[in-house]
Structure 1
């Protein structure tokens, strides 16, 4: 194995494969990156047995015979980062990996690659392709609502639902729910529903962040494959799926609202941030509807209190209901998370007897539900 790569490319690919490195000390070979070179291609991969990342980079290799090794990514990254020239020469010499430039040489101890598991590639030719910018935006809009409760493993991932007309990504932790729809025609034999681990979602955001091409999704019985190009790099992310059934969350989306109104997003964000300064350790703020205004308040015995109002435009009001009685306690960080994922300048807020409903006023492909801390608080 003998090849040359730009220093910035080496640093980039190490960062791209890092999310699939194992932290299990009993499997040291999985905490290393697998490098295979030969026939003008370099392949770099990592796996923790749940998520695998494989990158292939075309480059001139000085031998056609394929050779492989395992190397500590922290050591390789450190050595390359201190190189002065823009290109580094990398060569396998026995059990070491030599990284050199003029007047600069490091020899890194490696591990035998025989124990590194082969990363499977999809055998199916049926795939659904999405522009990477659209896909990454969708992932970023739902990633914060996943649960960390291991007692409910199905909530620790993202529901991927593909039909012939759209792709829906959904996450919930029981306190809030994010749903993003990507409207596009898909050619599939039957609809797909799989729960993708949070770790995989985070890996996808890292691997494809600089991609300008499509990300293509292929599913098999127990795995899902995401493939695309990042510049000259061919990238593949392979993930196991989470067993179990995702909750029928459609049943908790309110169909009946006490009041629905429009409010300016940036003004609402600033008022909530100001109110958070005086919030207690529970991160609560109070929202009241008073005289066509939204009143935001918070109070803490140690720091003081806050009170501010924003003008709103009432869209709908349940017959016989008085908006003066609408009052909710909310987790301000959860509210800010939802608002940050809405692209519109104007926000539609719908208040029900259960969740609070947030959505853009014109682009309605994303919705965010938030449970009040006490739904009956007034």
Structure 2
């Protein structure tokens, strides 16, 4: 195997793939990337953590010698980063060692057999669709922050996707908040496809969705999903388990509600200001009065912050305590100027939704003082 490449081209690929390729003492090859060079001057760089796999395709210009190898992701990334910008780097494989040459520098790295590199290629597709990249990005960004992290209930450590007819819905929850969002697609799907993408797959998907491309291709299998965008291919295993009945949860919290309508921008700024003195719990109090929202917070040192906001509200007076970060995350998904907040009583969850567009909404559980 032999090839030459500009530093910037390979560096951007290595930085993306490094996020999934982490060293594992029990399976050392997971800490390596797989490099494949073909006769047609195409090069593929692949990294995996056994759950998620990312491949970047690079078109080489110089002459090549085809071949395959695996090498430490961290070492090759650190080496490439150390070279001057826009420099040309030469790679060649000899006696199971990878030689890296740039100007007056020379590195020789150990490799592992490429045939031992695990891959997520052997599965059959059930559905293949092409959708707008910006729509998919918006769908993911509207709910990803509610995904649980290392919950004992594995199905909460991921995002539910539902593909039905001409729409795709994303749902996530950590047990303390629940977010859902929906986009419409051009294709009408006859069957329903419901699956859970793991947390790592969702976060890596968001990173590659920053590529300059108009469309994304989704390929869905029984236990895998693959996303093709520009020159990146992301493949991830799907989580098993039954996701909570989110529709019933929203329905339960939509009865006998009072509606507060407030300026979204002003509410966000107010929450950011008063949260300056908050403690780790991020607990904030919302006092609802006639056409008025009073936001206050008191920390363990008995320090106090309070602010008044004009609002539309004619319901009963009440005080609700919630996590301020959860509210801010939800507000960042609101597109209209004002946000609707549905409240039942001081001990029930609140629902945040766009005043005009009803495609995204969030449930936030109250905090007990």
Q: Is 2:260 the counterpart of 1:261? A: yes
Return the alpha-carbon distance in structure 2 between the equivalents of residues 36 and 246 of structure 1.
38
- Provide closer, same or farther for how the CA distance between residues 281 and 80 of structure 1 changes in structure 2, counting only shifts above 3 A: closer
Q: Is 2:246 the counterpart of 1:249? A: yes
Q: Who is 1:342 aligned against?
A: 334
Q: Who is 1:74 aligned against?
A: 74
Q: Which moved more, 1:274-283 or 1:264-273?
A: 274-283
Return the alpha-carbon distance in structure 1 between the equivalents of residues 24 and 83 of structure 2.
31
Using the TM superposition, give the Cα deviation of residue 280 of structure 1 relative to its aligned residue in structure 2, in angstroms.
4.1
* Alignment deviations for residues 5-53 of structure 1 (CA, whole Å, 9 cap, x no partner): 2211111101221232244311001111000112111011112221111
Q: Who is 1:361 aligned against?
A: 355
SS in 2 for 1:151: coil
SS in 1 for 2:169: strand
Q: Who is 1:351 aligned against?
A: 343
Q: Who is 1:19 aligned against?
A: 19
* Alignment deviations for residues 131-177 of structure 1 (CA, whole Å, 9 cap, x no partner): 22221222122111011253211111100100112000100111111
What residue ranges of structure 1 are gaps of 5+ in the alignment?
none
SS in 2 for 1:185: strand
> Contact 2:164–2:193 at 8 Å: present in 1 too?
yes
Using the TM superposition, give the Cα deviation of residue 307 of structure 1 relative to its aligned residue in structure 2, in angstroms.
1.6
Over the aligned positions, Cα root-mean-square deviation in angstroms equals 2.0
> Contact 1:2–1:61 at 8 Å: present in 2 too?
no
Q: Is 2:123 the counterpart of 1:161? A: no
Return the alpha-carbon distance in structure 2 between the equivalents of residues 116 and 295 of structure 1.
58
Q: Is 2:297 the counterpart of 1:298? A: yes
Matched residue count: 363
SS in 2 for 1:334: helix
Return the alpha-carbon distance in structure 2 between the equivalents of residues 349 and 85 of structure 1.
51
Using the TM superposition, give the Cα deviation of residue 247 of structure 1 relative to its aligned residue in structure 2, in angstroms.
1.0
Q: Who is 1:205 aligned against?
A: 206
* Alignment deviations for residues 203-260 of structure 1 (CA, whole Å, 9 cap, x no partner): 111223223231111211111111121xxx2x21111111111111111113324321
Return the alpha-carbon distance in structure 1 between the equivalents of residues 182 and 164 of structure 2.
11
Return the alpha-carbon distance in structure 2 between the equivalents of residues 282 and 124 of structure 1.
44
SS in 1 for 2:181: strand
Q: Is 2:286 the counterpart of 1:287? A: yes
Return the alpha-carbon distance in structure 1 between the equivalents of residues 120 and 148 of structure 2.
28
Q: Who is 1:218 aligned against?
A: 219
Q: Which moved more, 1:37-46 or 1:338-347?
A: 338-347
Using the TM superposition, give the Cα deviation of residue 355 of structure 1 relative to its aligned residue in structure 2, in angstroms.
1.8
What residue ranges of structure 2 are gaps of 5+ in the alignment?
none
Q: Who is 2:4 aligned against?
A: 4
TM-score using structure 2 length: 0.92
Using the TM superposition, give the Cα deviation of residue 122 of structure 1 relative to its aligned residue in structure 2, in angstroms.
5.8
> Contact 1:36–1:67 at 8 Å: present in 2 too?
yes
Q: Who is 1:313 aligned against?
A: 312
Using the TM superposition, give the Cα deviation of residue 184 of structure 1 relative to its aligned residue in structure 2, in angstroms.
1.9
TM-score using structure 1 length: 0.90
Q: Is 2:95 the counterpart of 1:94? A: yes
> Contact 1:162–1:168 at 8 Å: present in 2 too?
yes
